[in-house]
Amino acid sequence: MADPGEKPYRVYRGGRTRGGVPRSGRDRRRDVAGLDGPKPRRRRWKLWLALVIPVLVVLLAIWTFAGYLSVRSGVGDAHARLPAGTTAVLAHSGLIVDTPTNILLLGTDHATNGQAGRSSDDHSDSMMILRTDPGRHRLVYLSLPRDLRVTIPGYGDQKINAAMQIGGPRLAIQTVEQFTGLPIDHVVVVDFGQFEQLVNALGGVTIDVSENILSNRFDCPYSTATRCQQWDGWRFHKGVTHMDGHTALIYSRIRENRLDPAWTDFTRGQNQQAVMQATLSKLASPSMFFRLPFSGSSLMAPITTDLSTWDFAQLGWVKFRAGNVLHCRLGGSATGNGFITSTQENIQVVQEVLGNSAAQPPAPGSGLFGPGCVTGNQKFK
């Protein structure tokens, strides 16, 4: 039994306890909601995005406008180089972005320095139609041999490349339209004499060289006649090759392959067309957008065309969306007098270009000039 004077409880020495003061349920809810204390990281990212995205949009708009002005300046000069009356014979069927469009590509090489292998006139060394087909998401390249015998309006039967020499782009357009039945909506003339600077401005082009090549001694890279006589010629190895402007120009001008006796001027035309295709593909690629403010005007220097800046933008979009590419060529039989005589197969090829018939390669045994079409990365045999 406890002593009567003793208290029934024990007294402890008071004092502050360690730790925070307990909070009410309301305070704890405020902490969880983030009303007190630091903001969650997610909200910081949202704030940064809200600030950065408008800045990027403004910069993109400024860059686009600067590129547009640069290209427009070059396009204006390209229009001025087009002979009067050319646009009057063009079809202009509609917007490239939603309407099948035929663009005639003419390559000329009229250097006058007297070196072997050069032409000193304005014949179209390379002739090709680029058909955009946005409904089928495809591009079609139709090659026309320069020695193809056709009727030039007002001048009778001659090689198709003579139309450019006689009447410039206007007569070339009329001749191609009459022969193929395809309306020409736009025209692009590429001057290979100034082609080097364009390819360099694009950062070079990639070409799939079909065979090993050893050319004759044209455009000797050495300054002395003795060294040039010892030089074998230009060499190209079979396979995919990245070329700068000078190399691409040399490749497009080779008229003789000393490793292949079957090499003809027709082969040279095919090589020129391959270079033109690679160049136009690079010119219309999305990556070129970022370089336009610096080089948009100079890129157009070797080109004469009726295409507007908006047309080029549409062409780039159609190329970007194209899922497949069809390569076709007209041809016929060699008559032995320098002409290629057209055959009925050319009619079928035009139908394949239009998408009315399935693509068919040249018939077996049709030779170098056999008409036909191949798809994708396939090659003419």
Query: What percentage of the chain exceeds 70 in pLDDT?
Result: 74
Is residue 137 a contact partner of residue 126, using CB atoms and an 8 Å limit? no
- pLDDT of 58 reads 63
pLDDT class of 319 with cuts at 50, 70, 90: confident
Is residue 333 a contact partner of residue 365, using CB atoms and an 8 Å limit? no
**DSSP letter for each residue of 304-342:** EE---HHHHHHHHHHHHH--EEEEEE--EEE-SSS-EEE
pLDDT class of 15 with cuts at 50, 70, 90: low
> Can you tell me the mean pLDDT for 70-83?
78
- What domains can be seen in the chain, in order of their start residue? 61-192+272-287+301-375 (3.30.420.590)
Q: Are strands 372-375 and 324-329 parallel, antiparallel or unpaired?
A: antiparallel
Closest by Cα among 193, 198, 188 to 106: 188
Task: Give the Cα separation of 192 and 303 in Å (integer).
Answer: 9
- pLDDT of 114 reads 40
pLDDT tens for 283-301 read 766 555 555 444 555 677 7
> Can you tell me the mean pLDDT for 203-227?
89
| DSSP bridge partners of 187 | 104
Query: What percentage of the chain exceeds 90 in pLDDT?
Result: 37
pTM over 0.85: no
| Residues in contact with 199: Cβ distance below 8 Å, sequence separation at least 6, in sequence order | 205, 243, 244, 245, 248, 249, 279
Burial class (CB in 10 A: 0-12, 13-18, 19+), 20: exposed
- pLDDT of 274 reads 86
Kindly compute the dihedral angle of the four CA atoms of residues 278, 280, 286, 288, in this order, to the nearest 10 degrees: 100
pLDDT class of 112 with cuts at 50, 70, 90: very low
Closest by Cα among 126, 56, 60, 75 to 313: 75
- pLDDT of 173 reads 97
pLDDT class of 164 with cuts at 50, 70, 90: very high
DSSP state of 215: B
Task: Give the Cα separation of 114 and 316 in Å (integer).
Answer: 38
- pLDDT of 203 reads 84
Q: Which residue did the predictor score with more confidence, 126 or 342? A: 342
- Does 137 have pLDDT greater than 80? yes
Burial class (CB in 10 A: 0-12, 13-18, 19+), 9: exposed
Residue with the two structure tokens 């076709």: 328
> Can you tell me the mean pLDDT for 253-273?
84
